[in-house]
């Protein structure tokens, strides 16, 4: 508990979480408002309100990566390891705190997106009833939390803000979608890309709302069932975090 | 007590610390002396368990740093005043440190008061001057009220006021019976602060003794000789057991008393303009001992702008 409190103090006494929260909420909820307001052809659904979750995801990952890379940048990681020589405990606490904050941001953005859509298109049916709808909305929180752990792990391994953030962004925005362009095996590889699989958890299979493809985040064709998809995504986060812990323990601070 | 045994640290092919063994006695101020790049900071990081030695180990009161429970209560350290997030306030910085070792929050205000930062505690640490950062670092070191304190070059870059403050502070800590291990490349600074000295060069131990012994043994007395006939004198002085250093306008002779040099000059018909005994300065002693082990030799013999005065850095700080 002590270490969680330490990491909470550290995270909340700098400005980046505040800015990142505002940015994540602004982008995601703003995009939901845009979809609800502009697209009058097709009905607003729960799925379509979550169209912009990827923007928030990217911001959350930037915040998570910065939470650890700035410690290396300003050598506060040394002050930290000096105060708490158990490095694994420190990094686990940091990953936990950042994941919880990211999860909360996820809740705010996801339900905020639903709320603003309802405000704009008051006649839309945006009641959250089905398992799919719950996953599509509340699930965003889980995905943000796990993605934050991945970002902390990558940040720990790379230690430089610019390097870690570029790697994460390039991976999420480019590599996972471009990998399908590889002839023959490209699609098979893409099915196992972590964020592509994570999307499966949110967009489901089959999509019970029968919404048209263009409404909502593009569905994932990953072969795993939604909950297995989440487990797979979380598993990757755990493996990366373990590698990061091992490295941090071996390395000079 | 800090005990280092056979401490060795390599970075690639460079050996930063080479089989270094020393002890820092409890309740005394021990100076850790060596030229820049001698491995002082690396050693201190190894003491704190931040860097892992390739061989050997350091123990603090018999324990490795990584085995300490709530280490800040036992060892306080200021290795670098800039190890602070610039956007975090001084108080917030101390608050998380205090929390990490289960220290009461009111201790934060106490240490802020001790170092005189209470008024700026809410300001972001990134805007602090070096002197203020240094005080914040000392506040952090004192948080757990530790018996052992480590400081790495605490007066580096400080203005005279800051230096005086740090120096007084060290004395105060020592008077309270704490163990203080402080590194510096300025012997004059150490001679004012430290009772014991651990001297290293190129990562190797050169000497460990009390400061008084070190100064007495290491500084040899010499005689400054000024004369229009320096060449004649130099030849006359050229015999066994006499070392003559040519400093351009004068000679510095060691191994002979003033009287002997005077007689030699008279016998050779040389006029003397000055003949004065020199008490070897601490810096000279330091350089004599570490002379071979300075990592980067500056071309001191090449005239850049007059004679480079090695003592300057120490004198200015005095």
CB atoms within 10 A of CB B72: 25
Residues in chain B within 8 Å Cβ distance of A13: 85, 88-89, 92, 95-96
How is the beta sheet containing B75-78 ordered, strand by strand? B75-78, B148-152, B179-184, B29-33, B196-201, B204-210
**Beta carbons of A9 and B49 less than 8 Å apart:** no
State the average pLDDT over residues A240-250.
96
**Beta carbons of B140 and A75 less than 8 Å apart:** no
Residues A167-206 pLDDT 10s: 999 999 899 889 888 898 888 888 899 999 998 898 875 5
Residue A109: predicted pLDDT = 95
Establish whether the linkage from the previous residue to B299 is cis, with ω within 30° of 0: no
The residue of chain A with its CA nearest to that of B126 is A74
Residues 75-94 of A with CB under 8 A from B: 75-76, 78-86
Report phi then psi at A160, rounded to 5. -105, 130
Distance in Å, alpha carbon of A101 to nearest chain B alpha carbon: 18
Can you give the residue ranges of every domain in chain A? 2-250
Residue A165: predicted pLDDT = 96
Residue A161: predicted pLDDT = 95
Q: What is the number of CB-based contacts under 8 A between chain A and chain B?
A: 79
Q: Which of B51, B66, B96 sits opposite A6 (nearest CB)?
A: B96
Token pair in block for residue A152: 């902390």
Q: Would you call B283 exposed, middle or buried from its count of C-beta atoms within 10 A (0-12, 13-18, 19+)?
A: buried
Q: In this structure, are residues B38 and B289 in contact, taking their beta carbons and an 8 Å threshold? A: no
**Beta carbons of A76 and B49 less than 8 Å apart:** no
Residue B281: predicted pLDDT = 58
| B36 pLDDT more than 90 | no
Residues in chain A within 8 Å Cβ distance of B136: none
Angle of CA points A185, A190, A193, to nearest 5° = 135
Q: In this structure, are residues B2 and B187 in contact, taking their beta carbons and an 8 Å threshold? A: no
Torsion of CA B151, B155, B158, B162, to 10 degrees: 90
| B55 pLDDT more than 70 | yes
Report which of B293, B287, B279 is spatially closest to residue B309, judged by C-alpha positions.
B287
**Beta carbons of B52 and A81 less than 8 Å apart:** no
Tokens 């020393």 locate to B22
The residue of chain B with its CA nearest to that of A71 is B85
Q: Are strands B179-184 and B148-152 parallel, antiparallel or unpaired?
A: parallel
Residue B283: predicted pLDDT = 64
Residues in chain B within 8 Å Cβ distance of A10: 85, 88, 96
ipTM for this prediction = 0.86
Q: Which of B48, B92, B101 sits opposite A13 (nearest CB)?
A: B92
Q: In this structure, are residues B72 and B101 in contact, taking their beta carbons and an 8 Å threshold? A: yes
Distance in Å, alpha carbon of B62 to nearest chain A alpha carbon: 17
Q: Would you call A199 exposed, middle or buried from its count of C-beta atoms within 10 A (0-12, 13-18, 19+)?
A: buried
State the average pLDDT over residues B9-34.
92
A222 reaches B (C-beta below 8 A): no
The overall average pLDDT reported for chain B is 84
| A208 pLDDT more than 50 | no
Q: In this structure, are residues B17 and B56 in contact, taking their beta carbons and an 8 Å threshold? A: no
Mutating which of B99, B142, B149 best tests the A interface, going by the most A Cβ atoms within 10 A? B99
Can you tell me the distance from the alpha carbon of B23 to that of B236, in angstroms, rounded to the nearest whole number?
A: 47
Residues in chain B within 8 Å Cβ distance of A82: 48-50, 71-72, 77
Tokens 């909420």 locate to A25
Residue A249: predicted pLDDT = 95
Predicted TM-score (pTM) of this structure: 0.82
Residues in chain B within 8 Å Cβ distance of A5: 99
Can you tell me the distance from the alpha carbon of A135 to that of A230, in angstroms, rounded to the nearest whole number?
A: 11
**Which residues lie closer than 8 Å to A178 by C-beta, 6 or more apart?**
none
Q: Are strands B2-11 and B14-24 parallel, antiparallel or unpaired?
A: antiparallel
Distance in Å, alpha carbon of B302 to nearest chain A alpha carbon: 39
How is the beta sheet containing B222-226 ordered, strand by strand? B243-246, B250-254, B222-226, B274-278
Residues in chain B within 8 Å Cβ distance of A253: 45, 50-51
Token pair in block for residue A180: 């399908």
SS3 B44: helix
Report phi then psi at A148, rounded to 5. -65, -40
| B307 pLDDT more than 50 | no
Can you tell me the distance from the alpha carbon of A41 to that of B181, in angstroms, rounded to the nearest whole number?
A: 75
């Amino acid at each position: 508990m002590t270490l969680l409190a330490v990491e909470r103090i550290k995270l909340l006494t700098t400005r980046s979480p505040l800015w990142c929260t505002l940015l994540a909420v602004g982008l995601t909820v703003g995009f939901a408002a845009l979809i609800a307001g502009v697209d009058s052809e097709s009905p607003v659904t729960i799925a379509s309100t979550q169209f912009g979750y990827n923007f928030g995801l990217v911001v959350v990952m930037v915040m998570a990566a910065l939470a650890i890379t700035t410690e290396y940048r300003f050598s506060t990681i040394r002050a930290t390891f000096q105060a708490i020589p158990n490095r694994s405990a420190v990094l686990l606490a940091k990953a936990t705190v950042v994941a919880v904050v990211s999860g909360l941001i996820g809740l705010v953005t996801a339900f905020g997106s639903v709320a603003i859509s309802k405000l704009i298109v008051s006649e839309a049916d945006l009641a959250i009833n089905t398992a799919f709808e719950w996953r599509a909305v509340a699930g965003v929180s889980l995905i943000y939390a796990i993605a934050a752990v991945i970002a902390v792990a990558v940040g720990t391994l790379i230690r430089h803000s610019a390097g870690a953030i570029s790697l994460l962004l390039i991976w999420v925005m480019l590599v996972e979608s471009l990998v399908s362009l590889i002839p023959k095996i490209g699609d098979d590889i893409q099915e196992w890309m972590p964020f592509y699989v994570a999307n499966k958890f949110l967009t489901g299979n089959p999509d019970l709302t029968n919404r048209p493809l263009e409404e909502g985040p593009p569905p994932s064709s990953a072969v795993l069932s939604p909950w297995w998809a989440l487990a797979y995504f979380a598993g990757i986060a755990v493996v990366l975090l373990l590698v990061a812990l091992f490295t941090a323990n071996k390395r000079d601070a | 007590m800090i005990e280092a045994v056979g401490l060795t640290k390599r970075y690639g092919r460079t050996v930063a610390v080479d089989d270094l063994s020393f002890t820092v006695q409890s309740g005394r101020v021990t100076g850790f002396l060596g030229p820049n790049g001698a491995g002082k900071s690396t050693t201190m990081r190894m003491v704190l368990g931040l860097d892992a030695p390739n061989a050997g180990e350091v123990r603090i009161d018999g324990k490795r740093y990584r085995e300490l429970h709530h280490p800040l209560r036992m060892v306080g350290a200021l290795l670098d005043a800039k190890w602070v997030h610039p956007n975090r306030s001084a108080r917030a910085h101390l608050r998380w440190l205090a929390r990490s070792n289960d220290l009461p929050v009111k201790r934060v205000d106490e240490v802020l008061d001790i170092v005189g930062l209470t008024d700026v505690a809410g300001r972001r640490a990134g805007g602090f001057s070096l002197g203020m950062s240094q005080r914040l670092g000392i506040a952090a070191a004192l948080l757990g009220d530790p018996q052992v304190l480590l400081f790495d070059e605490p007066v580096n870059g400080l203005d005279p006021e800051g230096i005086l403050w740090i120096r007084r502070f060290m004395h105060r800590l020592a008077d309270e019976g704490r163990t203080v291990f402080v590194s510096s490349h300025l012997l004059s600074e150490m001679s004012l602060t430290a009772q014991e000295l651990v001297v290293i060069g190129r990562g190797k131990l050169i000497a460990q003794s009390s400061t008084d012994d070190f100064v007495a043994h290491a500084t040899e007395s010499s005689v400054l000789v000024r004369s229009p006939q320096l060449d004649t004198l130099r030849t006359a002085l050229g015999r066994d057991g006499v070392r003559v250093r040519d400093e351009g306008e004068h000679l510095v002779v060691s191994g002979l008393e003033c009287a002997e040099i005077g007689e030699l000059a008279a016998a050779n018909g040389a006029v003397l303009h000055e003949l004065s005994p020199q008490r070897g300065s601490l810096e000279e002693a330091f350089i004599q001992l570490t002379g071979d082990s300075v990592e980067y030799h500056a071309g001191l013999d090449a005239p850049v702008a007059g004679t480079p005065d090695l003592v300057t850095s120490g004198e200015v700080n005095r």
